[in-house]
Amino acid sequence: MLKKVLAGIGAGALLFGLSACGGGDDDAEGGADGSLVIGFAQVGAESAWRTANSASVQAAAEAAGHELKFVDAQQDQEKQISAVRDFINQQVDVIVLAPVVETGWTEVLQEAEDAGIPVVLADRGVEAADEDLYVTRLGSDFAEEGRKAGTWAAETFADDADGTRILELQGTTGSAPANDRKAGFFEVLDAEGLDYEIVDSQSGNFTAEEGKAVMETFITTHGLDGIDLLYAHNDEMGLGAIQAIEESGKVPGTDIQIIIVDGSKAGFQAGVDGKLNYIVECNPVFGDQLMDVVEQVANGDSLEKFTAVEESAFDASQFEAELPNRQF
Ligand code: GYE
């Protein structure tokens, strides 16, 4: 299996090598100076995290002198698949894919491999069965993010005698961050032996609008009395939920404790305003690191299967000091 991947990389490097010698006349081939043509199939523009990630990758490609063909797939897997197919037809040097969901990639990844074009995953991952069809992934350890949230919750509610009642706003159904942030969180609650109940858990698709709408449904269905904690898989859904909680006459951060993941300026500001209680950082600013990876892949270097970007987590005592450091 490893051989197959290496063959894929080798073919990609060969394509690059030919164009570097000036042998090709395809408009998508890299330049003689080592510049590359990179196709980037981005998830969408659903969050501040995503906007910052797109900007970081675009700026880094420009700074490195590579041509970036950028497609915003509007959170639609079909659009991402067509973008990847277009990149294959254009014979780009490397394809960067941020897969909106984990499943359903085998066919198009196989097409890329057959065309000898290496694929790098940025941010989100694909299911383990497709592991041989991409070279490497650069992004966050989403399960670890979930564990950080779980560790804080288990400590915060350790003495909650009548059990901790939890609402969860999940990210896009079937996406790696939704699956893993959930798994990591409950893994720790179970390991710590916290007495808890998941009162409700629904997807808010990583957007503020859907996060707010789902929270309104939670409030109508369950009320907020006796609910201890809201775990929102990203800032936007948490911020949308905060609006819904305020509109229902309750005080977010006090009547109900709130955890969010990402750590945008808006998220930290809500923390400084006392409206939420814990922020797990997810770092979107990895464009420069991604360009290094893409160059290594084009060069045929061998790489680790996964490189995690560095991330932290912040409680209320740290929000104010950290806010000015936020980049998105
Ligand atoms: O947390 C969320 C975005 O895949 C890590 O996607 C990313 C997530 C991020 O929409 O805000």
Q: Do domains 4-138+284-309 and 142-282 have the same CATH topology?
A: yes
Q: Return the CATH fold of 4-138+284-309.
A: Rossmann fold (3.40.50)
Distance of CA 229 to the CA centre of its chain: 23
What is the pTM for the complete model shown? 0.91
pLDDT, residue 34, reads: 85
Tens-place pLDDT, residues 226-251: 999 999 999 999 999 999 999 999 99
Q: Which CATH superfamily is domain 142-282 in?
A: Response regulator (3.40.50.2300)
3-state secondary structure of 249: coil
Ligand 1 centroid from CA 92, angstroms: 26
Q: Whose CA is nearest to atom 6 of ligand 1?
A: 50
Question: Which ligand 1 atom is at minimum distance from the Cα of 139?
Answer: 5
Domain ranges of the chain: 4-138+284-309, 142-282
170 within 8 A of 154, measured Cβ to Cβ = no
- State whether the beta carbon of 211 lies less than 6 angstroms from ligand 1: no
Rounded-to-10 torsion of CA 211, 55, 271, 320: 180
Q: 207 CB under 6 A from ligand 1?
A: no
Distance 119 CA to ligand 1 centre (A): 20
Q: Does ligand 1 come within 6 angstroms of the Cβ of 123?
A: yes
CA atoms of 153 and 150, how far apart (whole Å): 5
Indicate which residue's Cα is closest to atom 8 of ligand 1: 177
Reported as a single tens digit per residue, the pLDDT across 85-132 is 999 999 999 999 999 999 999 999 999 999 999 999 999 999 999 999
Q: Are 151 and 128 in contact, with CB atoms under 8 Å apart?
A: no
The whole-angstrom distance between residue 116's C-alpha and the CA centroid of its chain comes to 27
- Between strands 229-232 and 67-72, the pairing is unpaired
